[in-house]
Amino acid sequence: MITYSEIENLVTDHRFQDLKYRQEKTNVFTIVGQTHTEHWHSSFISWLLDAHSSLRLGHFPLARLLTLYMIKNPKCGFDLRDIYNWKLDDIQFSTEKDASYDGKKRSIDVYGESSELILVIENKVNARENYNNSDQGQTMDYYNYVERNKRPGQRTLYFFITADQKQTAFADMYVQISYQEMYDSIISKCIEHPQVSDDGKYLLEQYAANLRETIHNSNTPMALVNIPLCKDLYNDYSEVLDGIFDIAEQTDDIRSSKDPACMAYEHYQTVFDEIYLSVEEKFGRTPKAQLQRQVLSFTDLYNRGAVTDGMMFTMRYDGETYYARAVLTKDKKNCYFQVLDENKKPILQPKTGRVVGIYDNASSAGVDIINLRREKKGIPERIKTLRGSTYWVNSDGMSIKDLMDKY
């Protein structure tokens, strides 16, 4: 049981109160009711990348984006020297660039162009790719338009920025970048830059506060922006935070509970939730999974070179050994996590013989295969959650979490 004294020490810690204050600060996006409007996010990205914006950071943000592109796409054909030598200040950015052709009405969300480079950014906040009654997505239409109209000597780079880390572009020449990566690699670096303008820093902080809002029709924030602070708190109060999580998870009606942990969680729920979401290694979700952190799909890991087709994984849990492998689709566009039986063979549906047990992520796969094994052995207890990224390891002894961190 968590005591009143332990809770009091936690909630009065200046870091806990700082996190609470950051959450309660009003941001301009919320005031005007434009928290996750795609056009607003595109306008912000255009302003962020413009070397002549009021940030007064020149091409620093754009150089960070190009470096991230290079890291995520090792075969991109350019390196740091190219980024340093390109005349990035010459790139002119615009939004809703007309890209209509062959009777198709199209507009590129964010478009940047100079004599050396063309940047095409498709921005997806709360929507899927538009096919416009055709057999190919809008990203391929943008590609065809740009390649048809670009000038000799211009290099084209295609970006697919999305709040959903599992969403990829129809056209495979686009590099997928999540809003979490946008914050970690670009926005947070600009906020900390010693030369950022006061007005620019204020707008960046307002935008960062907006990113932690959940996406419409989703239980996932666009990005977590206080991870270092949350992890710092967890390191000092891990036993208390673990206890509050477990009690809140197991309590049916938190509001009527007399347990101190439930009373504290109810009162400071948003603060606790952000801590639990940010400490991915332990939680990555809130009690009862009302909110969950973005999970990298196996397609993302494959595209980054972290996994290969057929790569084997093993999991040890409660004295049992489980097997799985990465499987690539025939068109080589998607990669999935396939659980296997005790003989390392695909699991077949008894009546139809159809292969089952194919997942987007390792956590869901782990839960199902453990419960299936328990059902076969007549064990009534079932698990509900599992940090699959830490349990599943490949033949080199690297967990999926290790692969995520490395790539």
pLDDT in tens, 242-252: 999 999 999 98
* Six token digits for residue 39: 């056009």
* Cα–Cα dist 40/301, whole Å: 29
pLDDT for the residue numbered 32: 56
* Cα–Cα dist 205/200, whole Å: 9
Coil, strand or helix at 155: strand
Q: Count of CB atoms within 10 A of residue 20's CB?
A: 14
Q: Count of CB atoms within 10 A of residue 111's CB?
A: 23
Coil, strand or helix at 325: strand
pLDDT for the residue numbered 111: 98
> For residue 99, how many C-alpha atoms fall within 13 Å in the half-sphere facing its CB?
26
pLDDT for the residue numbered 407: 65
Q: Which residue has the tokens 């595209």?
A: 303
Coil, strand or helix at 308: coil
Among the listed residues 178, 116, 195, the one whose alpha carbon sits nearest the alpha carbon of residue 150: 116
Strands across the sheet containing 155-162 = 92-98, 107-113, 117-124, 155-162, 175-178
CB 298 within 8 A of CB 242: no
Tens-digit pLDDT profile for residues 127-182: 666 665 556 778 998 999 999 999 999 999 999 998 876 677 888 899 999 999 99
pLDDT for the residue numbered 135: 61
According to DSSP, the β-strands at 175-178 and 312-317 are unpaired
pLDDT for the residue numbered 65: 98
Q: For residue 138, what are the CA distances in angstroms to 105, 141, 150, 178?
A: 10, 5, 18, 19
Contacts of 157 (CB under 8 A, 6+ apart): 66, 69, 76, 117, 118, 119, 120, 175
pLDDT for the residue numbered 188: 96
pLDDT for the residue numbered 105: 82
* Cα–Cα dist 138/167, whole Å: 14
Low-confidence ranges of the chain (pLDDT < 50): 217
233, 235, 236, 237 alpha-carbon torsion, rounded to 10°: 80
Q: Count of CB atoms within 10 A of residue 293's CB?
A: 18
* Six token digits for residue 197: 């303008």
Look up residue 184 and give its DSSP letter: I
* Cα–Cα dist 82/109, whole Å: 25
pLDDT for the residue numbered 393: 93
* Cα–Cα dist 59/375, whole Å: 58
* Cα–Cα dist 121/192, whole Å: 25
pLDDT for the residue numbered 98: 93
